[in-house]
A and B are shown apart, each in its own frame.
Chain A
Amino acid sequence: MKIRLKNKIIGGTVTAASALSVILILGIIVIMLVVTFIGGKDTLTWKFLTTFPEEGMMKGGIFPAIYGTALLVIIMSIAAVPFGTITAIYLTEYAHEKSWIAQTIRFAVRTLATVPSIIFGLFGLGFFIKFVGAGMDNWFLGGHLKWAQPNLLWGSLTMALLTLPVVIVSVEEAIRTVPRELREASLALGATKWQTIKRVVLPGSVSGIMTGTILAVGRGAGEVAPILFTGAAYYLATLPTSVSDQFMNLGYHIYVMSTQSANVDQAMPIQFATTLVLLMLTFSLNLTAVLIRSRLRRRMK
């Protein structure tokens, strides 16, 4: 009888503790969303989204930061999505599951996914700016400094490296949901492997490629560390017009304003509003991706 009671108590504690953990995590998510919303909702107007910062960023809007972030994620997607998709095709269609090449590529992808984002920033500085950029300046511009400095292109490419694993993983997952019978039917009709991939596999995994792109954009829009020294600028009076310009960025804007602002308290509403914009952006992107993905998983079952 005693043992049974003890068992019940321990069992109840374990169950309660585990349920409490879930509630705690979900609670933190809700608190973060609510606090940011309350802090930022008054400042967040259409004007805030479409005007330039004024008076040392104490007033005005965040349009250049939104514009810069949009450019960043567009160039990043152009670079990351094709490469990620092709790698995923190789892993699912060409490579043998157990071959050492596939294993190594998988390991490399997973390693890329866990490399700290600041390391990508260092790599962008060391490789893109100081190696590729300086090389381009030396070869094509005769030493005239144009590419060997932080700019939009290098920032976006650095971000593309960071989001590459995200794309690879989601596209791979999607390709696996294309039934084998479809491929076999295509091959039996005389289509070659590449034709099958082009006409059957890729159209069947469009939703996966979309999920991957959305997730990558969500990640790229929020990361700051990789662009700290590869292109983001504190304040620019004009919008970037070419890929060799520096750009403003939402996340970087938040970081700079909350740590280096002349008057943190006065800038507080703007900071909360900027955070709210970024959070809403990434949150809605991730939510969309999660919804598409859960539909995809149901289809697989």
Chain B
Amino acid sequence: MNSNQATPGLSFTAESLRKKFRFSEFFAEKLITSVAFLSIALIILIFFFVFRESLPAFKHRPKATTEQQKITDGNKPESYGSSGTEAGSPKPETHYGTGASAGENKPETYTGSEPAAANKPESYGLVKDTSISADEVNQDESLRPSSGQESEGTLSSLFSNEWFPVSDNPRYGLIPLFVGTLKVTLIAMLFAAPIAIFAALFSSSFAPAWLREWIKPAIELLAGFPSVVIGFFALMVMATFLQNLFGYETRLNSFVGGIAMALAAIPVIFTITEDALTAIPASYKEASLALGASKWQTAVFVTLPAATPGIFAAVLLGVGRVFGETMIALMATGNAALSGLNPFESVRTLAATIGAEMAEVVFGDMHYGVLFLIGSMLFIFNFSINAVAEFYVKGKLVKKIQGK
């Protein structure tokens, strides 16, 4: 109040100094904050919806199938397919689709007659992890007396060795897909990791500053190559070239696919490794050089070990990139669901399976659900890879640099 009298016109009271409420200000802040939450919401939504769509895979329980087979007792398994034709499906591909939808109706009548079955779906839902629980073994046993054949086209076939989604007797064995994906990933990383790490080492430790300014953007340009272009290049040029070079039989195989994917993974690994290497404090290098170590000794024995967590993260993210790569896998790996270990054999990866088959499935049936289930698995895998790279590795890197 005194100041008010001393300098008329300027009134620094507690009242006037308080932040005024302005609607536009308030509105802008709230709007911006809520939009920013969109990315968090997106992650949750992606997980929720991809998983939700995979639920049809859990609906078709072996018991329901068994029950249906009981009803069509004495008939051969083929009658399962023909019942689908009766339902009036013109396309042969939809045989299993209509058959499955018939199975969808079954559980209702079934739960009516035997309430205990109502517990089954939940207990089954837990089995979706790769572990085969005792519950499933029980179900398998319960199948045997009712019908002497395996529970085909059901969840338990997820662990089988055959991927035949489009047939009268569909089998959804994920093992060949997993083997194929791992094979391609391994081959890709064997090529990409050393090349990218060495390149990053050159760029950060050996190259003069002016060259470095060029190398980094140039290699980052490779990241801008669309994967369909890399896939096309692999399919048209690399596959023939490598076949002539090594003389193997199948033109498109996991080796070609792996090398093509290495091209996609190299910029990822390079960029992160380069960042990790340049983040090492100059005092480290100076100390090493002052002790008489040469340039390469400093790079290999000081800089590289100090940046290991970052390089580890880079390789992890490279694995994530290869694991989920669809277009290159679709175009260059041959797409045959074989589970052999020969690198020159065609393979079918998880992501390529989704890409190739989703367009042809009947919405809401078992095959559709299984494809989304594969999608959920890919998402969870990638999410965990990213989480590990983010928290574990970064924490370690910071600690290492700070010398704790």
Contact = CB atoms under 8 A, between A and B. Distances in A.
B221 A279 contact: no
B244 to A, nearest CB: 15
Interface in A79-126: 83, 86-87, 89-91, 94-95, 104-105, 107-112, 114-123, 125-126
Secondary structure call for the B interface: helix
B224 A286 contact: yes
Interface in B356-404: 358-359, 363, 371-372, 375, 378-379, 382-383, 385-387, 390
Contacts of B351: 116, 118, 225
B39 A229 contact: no
Interface in A43-99: 83, 86-87, 89-91, 94-95
A166 B261 CA distance: 21
B326 A18 contact: no
A9 to B, nearest CB: 11
A13 to B, nearest CB: 9
Contacts of B270: 25
A189 interface: no
Given A25-B219, A108-B40, A258-B235, A90 B32 contact: yes
Contacts of B378: 116, 118-119
Secondary structure call for the A interface: helix
B218 interface: yes
Interface residues of A, number: 87
A126 B52 contact: yes
Contacts of B198: 17-18, 20-22
Contact of B324 (A89, A118, A221, A290): A118
Interface stretch (B3-11, B105-113, B182-190, B199-207): B199-207
A224 B39 contact: no
Contacts, number: 266
A48 to B, nearest CB: 17
Nearest to B372: A122
Interface string B225-243: 1111111110111000000
Interface of A: 7, 10-11, 14-15, 17-22, 24-26, 28-29, 32, 35-36, 39, 83, 86-87, 89-91, 94-95, 104-105, 107-112, 114-123, 125-127, 130-131, 161, 164-165, 168, 192-194, 197, 218-219, 221-225, 228-229, 251-252, 254-255, 258-259, 268, 271-272, 275, 278-279, 282-283, 285-287, 290, 294
Given A86-B35, A283-B225, 14 more contacts: A7-B297, A22-B199, A29-B221, A32-B230, A90-B32, A111-B386, A112-B43, A114-B320, A115-B382, A116-B382, A130-B363, A228-B358, A285-B224, A290-B221
26 contacts: A18-B205, A87-B35, A105-B37, A107-B387, A108-B42, A112-B43, A114-B385, A119-B50, A126-B372, A130-B53, A161-B42, A194-B24, A197-B28, A222-B225, A222-B228, A222-B229, A223-B226, A223-B227, A224-B326, A225-B326, A228-B355, A228-B358, A255-B231, A275-B233, A278-B226, A283-B224
